[in-house]
Amino acid sequence: MPGGVPCEVRCRHRDPQRDRSCATAPVRIQRRHSIVSLLEVKNLEVRFAMRRQELIALRDVSFKVEKGERLGIVGESGAGKSVAAFSILNLISKPGYISSGEIFFGGKDLTKLTAREMSQIRGNQISMVFQDPMMTLNPVLTIGTQMTEALHAHQDISREEAKQRAIETLARVHIPSPATRFDQYPHELSGGMRQRVVIAIALITKPPLIIADEPTTALDVTIQAEIMELMMELCESSGVGLILITHDLGVISQMTERAIVMYAGRIVEEGDTRDIINHAYHPYTHGLMDALPQKTKPGRRLNQIKGVMPALSSIPDGCAFNPRCPLVIDLCRTTLPQFTVFGSTRVACHRAAARTD
Ligand SMILES: Nc1ncnc2c1ncn2[C@@H]1O[C@H](COP(=O)(O)OP(=O)(O)OP(=O)(O)O)[C@@H](O)[C@H]1O
Ligand code: SF4
Ligand SMILES: [Mg+2]
């Protein structure tokens, strides 16, 4: 976006005058380039084999996460964010399946692992934090049992050591009286505390990568900010890589170093978060930014991207965004745009070059 966006776009919940980690200070970018990435997704395609037709939910999705890097994936509902996350952990259930592509993690292609091999990665090497804490927590088991189960499943550790590690991890996620909470059931905790417990379970095995799919959407707005800050602090202090999935560009700008924008199962823009926020090229990314509440004048209706995300059965030819795009030209209706690189950003739009000013 020429000229950048006003700082309040990035300041979701904090006062930029008081908080140096807020928008007035640029998002910390520490590109970590290694010979082998922590995770590398290559040309991933995911399909759902429905009775009448095969629906393609992800098309040619490729991205990397470096060790300790925080990557955001953003897009409207139905963009394919969760399908991408679930594919990494081989959690796509029938009728869905990975139809092509590779997912490299720790030198192995995860798409080729057996169910048993994959269960050694899941929760141990890669943990997932879901939107609703009750999707992860078992209501009839104590917090302590659930935390130590995760440890015993993956590590050779005594009961006492496991308990100690669980209590320490509860303290790390700022759960008050962790030793007492250890013996409590999920219903005895507030929603925010339950999500902290889920984060503690994700962290307890010290995995190099956490995938968080809308981790705060089910929570109260005030708690959302706290949980996000906690996740960022924990990832930074322990060098854990993070894939954060959200529909909120404001969260992406606060929390991540690199961002991917998805639309109708494809990546349409990817780059350093700071560059995307300050100078997005894709009209869809612009639409998402304009739709942020902070960009709407008081008393006015929220800006919206006109139209809706297409269903998988009716994705338009050419650029899938063309029916909604304010910059559409004839070429867009017939020809899929390929990626063009501008600095840290790659963008799939026929008219991206028009936005280089
Ligand atoms: N089990 C399924 N069977 C058929 N289609 C599915 C299935 N799961 C997801 N889809 C379709 O795949 C597409 C991508 O879904 P996905 O859940 O990844 O979207 P999302 O970006 O995570 O959206 P949200 O923000 O609402 O969570 C959608 O069109 C969705 O309808
Ligand atoms: S390719 Fe065309 S329709 Fe698609 S985003 Fe770019 S200008 Fe719009
Ligand atoms: Mg989702």
Any atom of ligand 1 within 6 Å of the Cβ of 315: no
Any atom of ligand 1 within 6 Å of the Cβ of 75: yes
Q: Determine contact, residues 113/105, Cβ cutoff 8 Å.
A: no
For residues 219 and 139, the model is more confident at: 139
The pLDDT value given to residue 227: 84
The pick from 82, 92, 135, 211 for probing ligand 1's pocket by mutation, whose C-beta has the most ligand atoms within 8 angstroms, reads 82
Any atom of ligand 1 within 6 Å of the Cβ of 271: no
The pLDDT value given to residue 41: 98
Q: Are strands 126-129 and 209-213 parallel, antiparallel or unpaired?
A: parallel
Q: Tell me, in angstroms, the distance from the centre of ligand 2 to residue 168's CA.
A: 50
Tell me the three state secondary structure of residue 124: coil
Q: Tell me, in angstroms, the distance from the centre of ligand 2 to residue 346's CA.
A: 14
The pLDDT value given to residue 221: 79
Q: Tell me, in angstroms, the distance from the centre of ligand 2 to residue 330's CA.
A: 10
CA distances to 56, 154, 311, 326 from 323, rounded to whole Å, are 19, 49, 13, 9
The pLDDT value given to residue 211: 96
φ, ψ of residue 62 to 5 degrees: the values are -135, 130
The pLDDT value given to residue 20: 35
Tokens of 113: 């692992």
Give the pLDDT band of residue 83 (cuts 50, 70, 90). very high
pLDDT over 60 at 97, yes or no:
yes
Any atom of ligand 1 within 6 Å of the Cβ of 206: no
One-letter identity of residue 356: T
CB-based pocket (< 6 A), ligand 2? 282-283, 319, 321-322, 325, 327-328, 332, 337, 349-351
The percentage of residues in the chain with a pLDDT greater than 70, rounded to a whole number, is 89
- Mean pLDDT confidence for 99-108: 96
240-278 pLDDT per residue, tens = 999 999 998 989 999 999 999 999 999 999 999 999 999
**Listed residue (142, 243, 252, 152) closest to 205, CA to CA:** 152
224 vs 166: CA distance, rounded Å: 23
Within 56-175, where are the H helices? 81-88, 115-121, 133-136, 143-154, 159-172
The pLDDT value given to residue 9: 36
Q: What dihedral do alpha carbons 124, 126, 132, 133 form, nearest 10°?
A: 30
Residue 190: DSSP 8-state: -
35 vs 326: CA distance, rounded Å: 40
261 vs 291: CA distance, rounded Å: 15
Any atom of ligand 1 within 6 Å of the Cβ of 247: yes
pLDDT over 50 at 3, yes or no:
no
Tokens of 274: 């700071």
pLDDT over 50 at 29, yes or no:
no
Any atom of ligand 1 within 6 Å of the Cβ of 97: no
CA 331 to ligand 2: nearest atom: 2
pLDDT over 90 at 85, yes or no:
yes
Q: Tell me, in angstroms, the distance from the centre of ligand 1 to residue 124's CA.
A: 26
One-letter identity of residue 157: I
**Tokens 């300041």 identify what position?**
11
Strand order of the β-sheet with 345-348 is 126-129, 209-213, 241-246, 70-74, 258-263, 266-272, 345-348, 339-342
46-64 pLDDT per residue, tens = 999 999 899 999 999 999 9
Q: Tell me, in angstroms, the distance from the centre of ligand 2 to residue 149's CA.
A: 49
311-332 pLDDT per residue, tens = 999 999 999 999 999 999 999 9
Neighbours of 158 (CB within 10 A): 9
The pLDDT value given to residue 134: 83
Give the pLDDT band of residue 356 (cuts 50, 70, 90). low
Q: Tell me, in angstroms, the distance from the centre of ligand 1 to residue 244's CA.
A: 17
Buried b (16+ CB within 10 A) or exposed e, 26-58: ebeeeeeeeeebbbbbbebbbbbeeeeeebbbb
75 vs 247: CA distance, rounded Å: 5
pLDDT over 60 at 138, yes or no:
yes
The pLDDT value given to residue 31: 52
Average pLDDT, the chain: 87
Any atom of ligand 1 within 6 Å of the Cβ of 32: no
